[in-house]
Structure 1
């Protein structure tokens, strides 16, 4: 069995379901300026998407974060078409797939496991996943232990406090079920 190298339609559907889709910018519960299907706006990468100067996008994003709300300027400038939303998700998923294949070399993953990891990593970020116990267990061949680790990723920092979020509990249960389906 060869390890997959791309997120399947089932994986994409799981991520889309839990992220939703918005054509305008919004703040996620962790106070990150987000758009489309869970794409966190990174001004140094995304300024061309909005046809803005990098410094302008930096200012808009920083002001939204500081104010803990989407500003009028963000409402005006941070918009996408439905096609742009789909294209952005496809690009994000290609990048996540590259990350998974590069950080799990020699590990036999099924498509279901790959998709579950993609959904988790899409949500928590590569920097949080790379040193995680889940990844360490997976690399050590402890599939059952790795599956159990999904349940630990249900907290987000909201207004400076770690909180267990119902949406994350539901999402992690779906990801774990997919991962365990193997």
Structure 2
């Protein structure tokens, strides 16, 4: 398989994040900074909104938009500083609705990783896939699912875009994706079922 230019760009960004997230760099970046309590509170509310089944999007949608507007203000003001702040901000941006929201989520997740926040690995992967889908491209890590006639299926997934070893290194192995599909089946009903 010949790697596409997109695969090269992704691999380069991931290599940069790996270098930037070395323990010394991460410690220097967050040595005197405390996590932003307001961002943590917004993240907790965001996750609580998604814990109910089914999710009432008429309620959650406006809350998502309000959180996104506020996190944009905090980002502009320089109040997003620590790995946790960037991670939580990435999650809030991924719950936006525009390609720019998803791209910003990806960049925020990369900033979190660069500050040593390894928990941001999943949001870095899923925000990249969500961004690619939103601009009419295929996802490359396989993180985005939707209901299909046979159950939960991956949306427009180019399985040949990246080697499986790279997906696995990013926590997106076939086994991890199968587990995610199983978990999502509790929340998403297959097409044709009630």
User: TM-score normalised to the size of structure 1?
Assistant: 0.32
Q: Which has the higher strand share?
A: 1
Higher relative contact order (CA 8 A, sep 6+): 1
Q: TM-score, normalised by structure 2?
A: 0.30
